[in-house]
Structure 1
Amino acid sequence: MTSSLRIAPRSPATAVTVSGPDVPAAGRRLSGLDGLRGLAVTLVVVYHMFPPVLQGGFIGVDIFFVISGFLITGLIVAEHEGTGRFSPRRFWQRRARRLLPALVPVVLVACTVAWLLGGDVLVGLGWKLFGAATFSYNWVSMAANSRYFGLGQPELLRNLWSLAVEEQFYLFWPLLLLLLLRIRRPGLRLALVAVLALASAAWMGIGFHPGSDPTRVYYGSDTHSFGLLIGAGLALLLRPLGSVAALGGAAAAASPAATARWTLAATRPWWGAAGVAGLLAAAIWLPADAATTYRGGLLLVSICTAVVIWAGAAGGRFGRMLDSAPLRYLGERSYGLYLWHWPLLVLMQLVAPFGRGPASIAATGLLTLALALAAAVISHRWLEMPIRRLGLRGAAVRLRARVTSRESAPGTLRRYRPVAALVLAAAAGLMLLAGTVASVVTAPTVTTAQAEVLRGQQALARAAGAASAQAARDAAGVAAEAGRGSNITAVGDSVMLASAAELQAEFPGIAIDAAVSRGMDAAPDILAAQRAAGTLRPVVLLGLGTNGAVDPDDLAAIMRVIGPSRGLIVVNAFADRDWTVGVNEELSDFSARRSQVVLADWSGAIAPHVDVLADDGIHPGSTGGAIYADSVATALKRLPGAGHSRAPGADTLQAFRVR
């Protein structure tokens, strides 16, 4: 994305050369690349802003990786062949000139606005700024256990992970490429690059574990560099072969190999169209959590991208179609659009008045898209292009000359206008810098959801201490009065954990076993262990719908464990997650079909009171916890009566109704 490849004459055939900030433009510009960039950024933006539309839109990043590897390798090889040398220092300077003018304003503006808004978005921002400044965001994010495909804490600069992968690649690739260029056999060079790409893809497949979070293999520079290497291999492939498009019928008659190349050139548009179709199919159907994605899926996406580049670079109808005006316009501004769209979306979700339904997602996405596109256009026009062409000093000189040359204000006012513009720009920069520093200094250490979960953990710790003290009193013959919750065993996730204090207040003596990220599949084993230990009580309360879909087989296993003599209360879920509707429907049907099961409608109870939830819109505070406890109490009243038993752990109810 730093430069544009061009076809320039070198010999009777033509070869790929590069024009960048320091290389004079020669020949014609390779077609299709800006259009392909436009397609890539469109997929990413739609995936983030309108989640239900493209479940595989994240492949846009892999398209960018291939394009970047192709362009940068072509730049290095062209400079090395043209001058006999290559300067890594100048290469990295050009990278800085390309990246920083657009990146710095995004970071400063986003952090300052986040500071003004406050809340969870500031948590851990200092380390994330460090990752942005050092192009190590992917590793910093992994160290903080952030999840790319997760829906928890809003991560203001999450999209910088891909920039970090690219820049880490560019830190080592020029040096490695210079060693490869010492090998005189082009086929061997290409084979070595292909081996590196396959090794990276294989490492991703090995590191992915179905059912687990894929962030490590998705963020890792070691596991996600194959796209960059495939693009690099394509650049190396095109140079020794020359431009296949330049080979005509005379060349075709020269040899069978030339005939094959001519045939391949003639079918380029069809190959390119097939590559685009493959990319669109992956964007529509490739899931973020499936083994096929990480065990070959993203590799195929990168190969399809390379085919599209190869077909488009030859020009012709396919290249012109790919470079259609809308896609080319977006492609030329794709870097700024990619940078701006994510932090603006995070910030907009904090302040947008639209709510949480599908219509609100669309409204928030459209408004964010308009702002991101406007920011990208301004960045491209006033920052990226002037600095890329002239450097920072040259761009400043030209801007000053333009300001002073205008005659909208006469005399003295015109003389001081450049000074006023400079002062205003400096003041704005200082304000943004101060806001960024303040965002780090004032950032909370935990999210509001984490604080509520911690409050619940402390309540459980106090209850455990009280139980130990009561056990000592029981040993001394001092019996305690049974509390309203002494017949209830509760097993839940972080939502129940955040409500623990209120459950204990509503049902004194309740036994709560709740943990973060727990799903319904954990319940059968937990309940079976309690039954074996004789601690499973007559009424079982389950709140396990927040973290994933509910499998009917797990519900059947739960019923087998608790037996026919215990009552079961299932709490439905309230969370802005794909599986929530399905979870609630499954639990509603499950409770409706069984007389000993009732549903606690937490979702319906909390929906009118989302303001009492943490910033993630999922975990309750003290007021929300009271609503959670009330929904359980309401369900408990509907639980049918039963006989008595002598012990809470017996298989018949001791006191089925709790009063």
Structure 2
Amino acid sequence: MKREHNIVRKQHKTRYMPGLDGLRAVAVIAVIIYHLNPQILSGGFLGVDTFFVISGFLITSLLLHEYRETGRIDLKNFWIRRFKRLIPAVVFLLMVLVSYMAIFHLERLAAIKTDFIAALVYFANWWFIIEDVSYFEALEANPLKHLWSLAIEEQFYIIWPIVLLLLLVLVKRMGRIWLITFGISIVSLIIMIVLSAPFEDNSRVYFGTDTRAHSLLIGVLFAYIFPPFRLKKEIGAGSKAVLNLIGFVTLGILIYLFTFVSSSHYWIYVGGLYGIAVLTSLLIAASVHPSTFFANRLLGNPLFVFIGKRSYSLYLWHYPIIVLSNTYFVAGQVPIYVIIIQIILTFVMAEVSYRFIEQPFRRNGFKAFGFADVVNRVRLIVVGVLGIVMVLFLTGVLDDPIDNVLEDREQQRAYEEMEFTSSIKTIDQSIVNEESVRTLEPLFIGDSITVDIEDEVLYRMPYATVDGEIGRQLWDVEALIQANYANYTEPEDIVVLQLGTNGVIAVDDMQAVIDLFEEATIYVINTRSPRDWQADVNSMLNEITENNENVHLIDWFSVSEGHPEYFSNDGVHLTPLGKQVIVQEIVDVMNEVSVE
């Protein structure tokens, strides 16, 4: 797309852009906060999209600059630079992670072996799709799940330079190249729209290279029309004001999105992410221009630049540190001092990686691991020991010890649960045998939490009907009711609905389910779940309760506040004590309603 612009001129050398590092800092901070607690910054996952747009923009800008200056693109040299920039940090992370888990989490090591290999060859995103892994709902700790985005970027770095070179050689005219690239981005968007669905787990479209390519390509498109290495250093006051205004407005909108968007919001999958990528490209314009206050003083401040330069390392290290340390606590109820330690450890390990692995390798390659000085020798010894552990892991030498530990842990867990279960059956028999409780015939419909409490419910209310299913969503319930429970329509009929663990629920859809029971007495149990949709689900249930006289709230969220002992490590499912407490709360609310 050939165009003249009053702020563009030819410049032969690339220049450092501090504002871009500042934008990286904003993105990585958002992602870290999201993974620390998604309820604090529910849209923090969008920081990954910011990285995608930046990558598409910067890589294409560098390739176009090289082509304009030399008439060619040295693919081999480009890939070597990318290798030196990206691979050592990932390999170091994987080596440290395997060694740490071999000592402290041996029972979890076998579960990540295939994930480890997929991460090593930058195939993680497709592997998670093949394995049907959920980005948003998976309850098992997976310290490598965040590497899906790096896999997409690496795939982009391999494929896009070839595509761009072919376009430059065969199509030549920038206008047509822009249109072709735009067309590819629209195809990616269409695939995302077709494969996504409301109120479902959209991890397939979240992980897919095909469905996420449009964010990278938006950055590519912007590099065509706003080449950062050809911008004038000085522009008029009016142009500066416009760029600064664009920067402040777009940054403000992005922070708003980080704060209030949820992964369960369907609109982000049907054009929302595309629009956010366009917004980010405008933010990049204000972030890379050499003459703006926004780029040089705001985003380019020393603290943001420091964090931004280490954003890759911070992204690599934060997630495994959070995931593995959280295994000692209930998800969503991690003490503040632990969160502070997680943040400190993230920055410490990122700095170690950046200063002693990444930068030396970028400057000196494999010579950084020689015998030239003490630092090099220490680095060689440390990496050598870690590498041996990784080889033992990959070749299966650690398999037998892992199997033995798994067997011992399973036996210990079964014994502890049996002992604990027998010790907590201490409910006063006058309550258990209370006529108003034992003669109730309620219908329970719910997801895995209902499965959890079935035995406890039947112990307290032996005539109850309990219909729980792991992973059940609201849209599964309407047909279930019509087929099996259409006769629960009279005031004396009691229905308990426990839904919302697995995703957001629309008010209208919930109301439709309520209406199926007509005049039945209905109880809805709200949720405590370390997911970004928790607040939305509980707000919806409050609204349903207020709008329907025959619907009553069982406030499990409030009852369980400050009681991590009620939950297993995932912060969702219940311990034997938790099962006892929630069923007691159900009985108490039923008794209160019957008195009314």
TM range (shorter): 0.7 to 0.9
Task: Please state how far the C-alpha of 1:334 moved relative to its aligned partner.
Answer: 0.8
Q: Secondary structure at the match of 1:364?
A: helix
What is the alpha-carbon distance in structure 2 between the residues aligned to residue 193 and residue 554 of structure 1?
40
What is the alpha-carbon distance in structure 2 between the residues aligned to residue 189 and residue 586 of structure 1?
48
Q: Give the gaps of 5 or more residues in structure 1.
A: 1-11, 19-27, 250-261, 405-417, 456-482, 642-659
Q: Secondary structure at the match of 2:445?
A: strand
What is the alpha-carbon distance in structure 1 between the residues aligned to residue 278 and residue 505 of structure 2?
37
Task: Please state how far the C-alpha of 1:519 moved relative to its aligned partner.
Answer: 4.9
Q: Secondary structure at the match of 1:542?
A: strand
Question: Greater CA deviation, 610-619 or 213-222?
Answer: 610-619
Q: TM-score, normalised by structure 2?
A: 0.77
**Correspondence 1:377 to 2:351:** yes
Amino acid at match of 2:303: P
Task: Please state how far the C-alpha of 1:128 moved relative to its aligned partner.
Answer: 1.7
Task: Please state how far the C-alpha of 1:71 moved relative to its aligned partner.
Answer: 2.5
1:443-592 equivalences under 5 Å are 487-508=441-462, 510-519=464-473, 525-532=479-486, 540-547=494-501, 561-562=516-517, 570-577=524-531
2:384 is aligned, of 410, 421, 426, to 426
Alignment check: 8 A CA contact 1:520 1:544 kept: no
**Correspondence 1:396 to 2:377:** no
Change (3 A) 1:177 1:619: same
Q: Secondary structure at the match of 2:209?
A: coil
Partner of 1:224: 212
Change (3 A) 1:213 1:97: same
Task: Please state how far the C-alpha of 1:328 moved relative to its aligned partner.
Answer: 0.8
Partner of 2:318: 341
What count of residue pairs does the alignment treat as equivalent? 556
Partner of 1:646: none
Task: Please state how far the C-alpha of 1:277 moved relative to its aligned partner.
Answer: 3.5
CA offsets 1:101-127 (integer angstroms, 9 cap, x no match): 111222233344445554996684233
Partner of 1:15: 11
1:617-656 equivalences under 5 Å are 617-620=571-574, 624-625=578-579, 640=594
Q: Secondary structure at the match of 2:232?
A: helix
What is the alpha-carbon distance in structure 1 between the residues aligned to residue 549 and residue 206 of structure 2?
46
Task: Please state how far the C-alpha of 1:372 moved relative to its aligned partner.
Answer: 0.7
Task: Please state how far the C-alpha of 1:188 moved relative to its aligned partner.
Answer: 1.9
Identical-residue share of aligned pairs (%)? 28
Alignment check: 8 A CA contact 2:188 2:214 kept: yes
Alignment check: 8 A CA contact 1:121 1:156 kept: no
1:73-222 equivalences under 5 Å are 73-114=60-101, 116-118=103-105, 124-150=111-137, 152-182=139-169, 183-222=171-210
1:351 is aligned, of 310, 328, 349, to 328
Partner of 1:301: 276
CA offsets 1:411-438 (integer angstroms, 9 cap, x no match): xxxxxxx878754553344346556864
Alignment check: 8 A CA contact 2:109 2:402 kept: no
Amino acid at match of 1:493: D
Task: Please state how far the C-alpha of 1:506 moved relative to its aligned partner.
Answer: 4.7
Q: Which entry has the higher C-alpha Rg, 1 or 2?
A: 1
Amino acid at match of 1:204: M
Amino acid at match of 1:235: A
Alignment check: 8 A CA contact 1:489 1:536 kept: no
Task: Please state how far the C-alpha of 1:361 moved relative to its aligned partner.
Answer: 5.8
Q: Secondary structure at the match of 1:351?
A: coil
Task: Please state how far the C-alpha of 1:377 moved relative to its aligned partner.
Answer: 1.2
Alignment check: 8 A CA contact 1:518 1:544 kept: no
Question: Greater CA deviation, 341-350 or 496-505?
Answer: 496-505
Task: Please state how far the C-alpha of 1:620 moved relative to its aligned partner.
Answer: 3.1
Change (3 A) 1:441 1:85: farther
Amino acid at match of 2:368: A
Alignment check: 8 A CA contact 2:95 2:386 kept: no
Alignment check: 8 A CA contact 1:595 1:640 kept: no
Alignment check: 8 A CA contact 1:31 1:314 kept: no
What is the alpha-carbon distance in structure 1 between the residues aligned to residue 224 and residue 571 of structure 2?
50
Task: Please state how far the C-alpha of 1:383 moved relative to its aligned partner.
Answer: 0.7
What is the alpha-carbon distance in structure 1 between the residues aligned to residue 182 and residue 198 of structure 2?
27
CA offsets 1:178-228 (integer angstroms, 9 cap, x no match): 111113322222222222223323433444333222322222211211232
What is the alpha-carbon distance in structure 2 between the residues aligned to residue 396 and residue 630 of structure 1?
62
Alignment check: 8 A CA contact 1:499 1:621 kept: no
What is the alpha-carbon distance in structure 1 between the residues aligned to residue 47 and residue 114 of structure 2?
26
Partner of 1:60: 47
Task: Please state how far the C-alpha of 1:329 moved relative to its aligned partner.
Answer: 0.6
Partner of 2:360: 386
Change (3 A) 1:419 1:41: closer
Change (3 A) 1:425 1:387: closer
What is the alpha-carbon distance in structure 1 between the residues aligned to residue 96 and residue 163 of structure 2?
37
What is the alpha-carbon distance in structure 1 between the residues aligned to residue 282 and residue 549 of structure 2?
61
Partner of 1:651: none
CA offsets 1:274-328 (integer angstroms, 9 cap, x no match): 4434433433344433344334433333233333433443312433223111111
Change (3 A) 1:276 1:120: farther
Higher relative contact order, structure no. (Cα contacts within 8 Å, ≥ 6 residues apart)? 2
Change (3 A) 1:427 1:506: same
Alignment check: 8 A CA contact 1:519 1:544 kept: no
2:291 is aligned, of 316, 331, 347, to 316
Alignment check: 8 A CA contact 2:444 2:495 kept: yes
Q: TM-score, normalised by structure 1?
A: 0.71
What is the alpha-carbon distance in structure 1 between the residues aligned to residue 235 and residue 444 of structure 2?
77
Q: Secondary structure at the match of 1:225?
A: helix
Alignment check: 8 A CA contact 1:46 1:53 kept: yes
Amino acid at match of 2:113: G
Task: Please state how far the C-alpha of 1:533 moved relative to its aligned partner.
Answer: 6.9
What is the alpha-carbon distance in structure 1 between the residues aligned to residue 259 and residue 566 of structure 2?
37
Task: Please state how far the C-alpha of 1:166 moved relative to its aligned partner.
Answer: 0.8
Change (3 A) 1:218 1:119: same
What is the alpha-carbon distance in structure 1 between the residues aligned to residue 514 and residue 207 of structure 2?
41
Change (3 A) 1:333 1:571: closer
What is the alpha-carbon distance in structure 2 between the residues aligned to residue 551 and residue 200 of structure 1?
28
Alignment check: 8 A CA contact 1:489 1:537 kept: no
What is the alpha-carbon distance in structure 2 between the residues aligned to residue 593 and residue 305 of structure 1?
41
Q: Secondary structure at the match of 2:443?
A: strand
CA offsets 1:456-494 (integer angstroms, 9 cap, x no match): xxxxxxxxxxxxxxxxxxxxxxxxxxx967944332221
Q: Secondary structure at the match of 1:176?
A: helix
What is the alpha-carbon distance in structure 1 between the residues aligned to residue 266 and residue 514 of structure 2?
32
Q: Secondary structure at the match of 1:44?
A: helix
CA offsets 1:69-109 (integer angstroms, 9 cap, x no match): 22322333444455554443443332222112111222233
Partner of 2:431: none
Alignment check: 8 A CA contact 1:543 1:570 kept: yes
Amino acid at match of 2:570: D
